[in-house]
Structure 1
Amino acid sequence: MLTKRQNLMETIKGGSPDRLVNQYEAFVCTDAIYGMIMGDPITGQGKSPMPGGEPQKNAWGITFAWPAGAPGAFPMHDEEHKVLKDITKWREVVKAPKTDLPPEAWEPFLPPIQAIDRNEVFATAFVAPGIFEQCHHLMGMDDCLLNFYEEPEEMHALIEYITEYELKYAAELVKYYKPDCIFHHDDWGSSINSFMAPDMFEEFIVPAYKKIYGFYKANGVELIVHHSDSFGANLVPLMIEMGIDIWQGCVTSNNVPELIKKYGGKISFMGDIDNSLIDREDWSQESVGAEVRNAVERCGNKYYIPCITQGGPGSVYPGVYEAITEEINKLNK
């Protein structure tokens, strides 16, 4: 029987997997709740809100709130809390977190990472937010999208600054954690379209990720998994150019079976089980099972990993993620 790691590699290479990859099983690492390497002293320079708790300011100075009952935290962009109100003044306002921390700052995080069985799973570092998300976290979504049109030179400069920070951050992750896999968040669209046309996306976003993902690949990272739970079928050729191995979060509006036929062998797809369809208050094992079976029947078992489209192992409503896992286990039996 193949290990979880081996089975995933057979799947994305179009080889001979002996079972379906079961969601995030091959990326189990150090965090019992989320399943990935999430803690580090660089991002730990800021704070994160708890569900229903008080808003907190992260290491970039962005204030996040997590209201009770909401699926996650999101930045506050009212007049009081918006970090960047004028893109032309970003050099005065935007300050990246320090990355040149001493070795002793990393030491408390190392024991559980050193205990990972890398023959069984990928030691997976969770990185968020991405380049586009960092931009709109600083200034708000409306201002961000408008600035691509109205102040392209300033947006290029800001993206270059964010990219340089992430490359410094990546160098520290590689130095201390030596990850086999990077799970990188950056949502690039809604459920029906990408936020940017492919030409604009290629101009502003692709060069940054070619540098970032190229750095990881040149420094021992075997897999790049990129999360964007959105429509992105029009961006898949650019994802391949960036160096993405697995697109996680591909919702059903992308026509995932068609993408597998067209691009399988160049990139693999992880998702096609939409949160919006099953991660609901009225969920049942039967409704989850129907969606899982439909997804596997549509997509097969090569270049495809059945998975909730959420960006990490879990669900908004307790039990949904585990129900999907159970249904995939049934199919494997």
Structure 2
Amino acid sequence: MLTKRQNLLETIHGGHPDRFVNQYEFIHIILADPLGITEPYPEYGQTNIKNGWGVTMSWPEGTPGPFPVHDNAHKVVKDIEEWEQVVKAPNLNFPESLWETAIAEAESVNRQEQFTAPFIAPGIFEKTHNLMGIEEALINLYEEPEKMHDLIKYLTEWELEYARTLCDHLHPDAIFHHDDWGSQKSTFFSRDMFQEFFLDAYKEIYGYYRERGVELIVHHSDSYAATLVPDMIDMGVDIWQGVMTTNNIPELIKNYGKEISFMGGINSATVDHPGWTREEVHQEVERACREYGSLYFIPNTTQGLAMSTFEGVYDAVSEEIDQMSKKMIKASN
């Protein structure tokens, strides 16, 4: 029987996996680095928590995650012309004692069994709209491109320094990086605009991780982003996590599977809701596994961590994936 790590590599390299990769089983995500444990962050149900960037966040009950507050009283960047006066990056100079928990966690992972990855969120685009609001961020890409390029360069340089500290202390062999680039039906920008503003930033960031020995780059965008898949490949993404069914996953696997793999295919909203049932979980998991197969695809809810909004859903999905492995893969061997 292959280890979880070996089975993942067989899957994404078009080899001979002996079962479906089951959601996040192949990757140990570290949340307890110093930034992660010191950055103010709302818990479920909390409102108006200001983080290290000065962004006010709230996590209302019944929602899958926190959201920035963008009324005029809380918005950080009210005028892009003045962003340099108001955007102040969080400090990354932490005492070594604050690294002890994360280092111990990283060292405890059996790397024959799992990859070890820091959790990086929000991404570059999300940071821009967290600071000013998504409408303003998108408008400024058109109306104030030079200022947005300058802001994105500033955010990228900060993230590269963050990457250096993570690699120096944790020696990860994978990273798990968030940045949502679209809604369920469309990207937030054309491919040309994405390439103009964000592609080089990510090539630099992901390229740095490669230079530091990272083998596996997993990028989360629970959205439509099929038009950006060639750019994901160009920037070095190995797995796109969060791929929704609106992306025509079979076509993506056919066209790009040898260069990038797709993790998701089970829209969280379809199964992760207050009235969820085991039967609908069973039906969605079976549909995804049969439609997309076991090569270049990892069945997973589109949630951006190994969790669900409503208790029991994530575990139920995992159990159903195991059952599909027995039906589809082990039965054929």
Query: 1: distance between equivalents of 2:131 and 2:318?
Result: 36
Is 1:3–2:3 an aligned residue pair? Answer: yes
Is 1:16–2:41 an aligned residue pair? Answer: no
Unpaired runs of 5+ residues, structure 1, are: 30-35
Q: Which amino acid aligns with 1:11?
A: T
1:241 to 231, 234, 237: 234
Is 1:219–2:217 an aligned residue pair? Answer: no
Query: 1: distance between equivalents of 2:271 and 2:315?
Result: 12
Mapped contact 2:119–2:176 kept (Cα < 8 A): yes
Mapped contact 1:44–1:59 kept (Cα < 8 A): no
Task: Look up the SS of the partner of 1:212 in the other structure.
Answer: helix
Query: 1: distance between equivalents of 2:60 and 2:10?
Result: 42
Q: Which residue of 2 aligns with 1:125?
A: 118
Query: 1: distance between equivalents of 2:39 and 2:218?
Result: 25
After TM superposition, give the deviation of residue 64 of structure 1 in Å: 0.6
Q: Which residue of 1 aligns with 2:70?
A: 77
Q: Deviations over 1:69-91 (max 9, x none)?
A: 22211111111110110111111
Is 1:106–2:103 an aligned residue pair? Answer: no
Q: Which residue of 2 aligns with 1:204?
A: 197
Q: Structure 1-normalised TM-score?
A: 0.96
Deviates most, 48-57 or 171-180: 48-57
Query: 1: distance between equivalents of 2:18 and 2:247?
Result: 27
Q: Which amino acid aligns with 1:227?
A: H
Q: Which amino acid aligns with 1:38?
A: L
1:257-296 matched pairs, under 5 angstroms: 257-296=250-289
Deviates most, 316-325 or 5-14: 316-325
Q: Which amino acid aligns with 2:210?
A: K
Mapped contact 2:30–2:102 kept (Cα < 8 A): no
Q: Deviations over 1:207-254 (max 9, x none)?
A: 000000000011011100000000011110011001000000110000
Report percent identity of matched pairs: 54
Query: 1: distance between equivalents of 2:73 and 2:88?
Result: 18
Mapped contact 2:30–2:105 kept (Cα < 8 A): no
Q: Which amino acid aligns with 2:282?
A: G
After TM superposition, give the deviation of residue 292 of structure 1 in Å: 0.8
Query: 1: distance between equivalents of 2:167 and 2:179?
Result: 20
After TM superposition, give the deviation of residue 281 of structure 1 in Å: 1.7
Provide the aligned length of Structure 1 versus Structure 2. Answer: 326
- Backbone CA RMSD of aligned residues: 1.1
Q: Which residue of 2 aligns with 1:191?
A: 184
Q: Which amino acid aligns with 1:205?
A: F
Task: Look up the SS of the partner of 1:124 in the other structure.
Answer: strand
After TM superposition, give the deviation of residue 54 of structure 1 in Å: 4.1
Q: Which residue of 2 aligns with 1:50?
A: 43
Query: 1: distance between equivalents of 2:37 and 2:266?
Result: 32
Q: Which residue of 2 aligns with 1:26?
A: 26
2:53 to 42, 50, 60: 60
1:304 to 283, 292, 297: 297
Query: 1: distance between equivalents of 2:41 and 2:287?
Result: 37
Query: 1: distance between equivalents of 2:217 and 2:102?
Result: 22
Change (3 A) 1:123 1:60: same
Q: Which residue of 1 aligns with 2:329?
A: none
Q: Which amino acid aligns with 1:20?
A: F
Unpaired runs of 5+ residues, structure 2, are: 327-333
Query: 2: distance between equivalents of 1:181 and 1:66?
Result: 28
Mapped contact 1:43–1:59 kept (Cα < 8 A): no
Query: 1: distance between equivalents of 2:257 and 2:101?
Result: 41
Is 1:161–2:154 an aligned residue pair? Answer: yes
Query: 2: distance between equivalents of 1:220 and 1:243?
Result: 13
Q: Which residue of 2 aligns with 1:37?
A: 30
After TM superposition, give the deviation of residue 317 of structure 1 in Å: 1.4
Query: 2: distance between equivalents of 1:7 and 1:162?
Result: 36
Mapped contact 2:58–2:68 kept (Cα < 8 A): yes
Q: Which amino acid aligns with 2:115?
A: F
Mapped contact 2:33–2:101 kept (Cα < 8 A): no
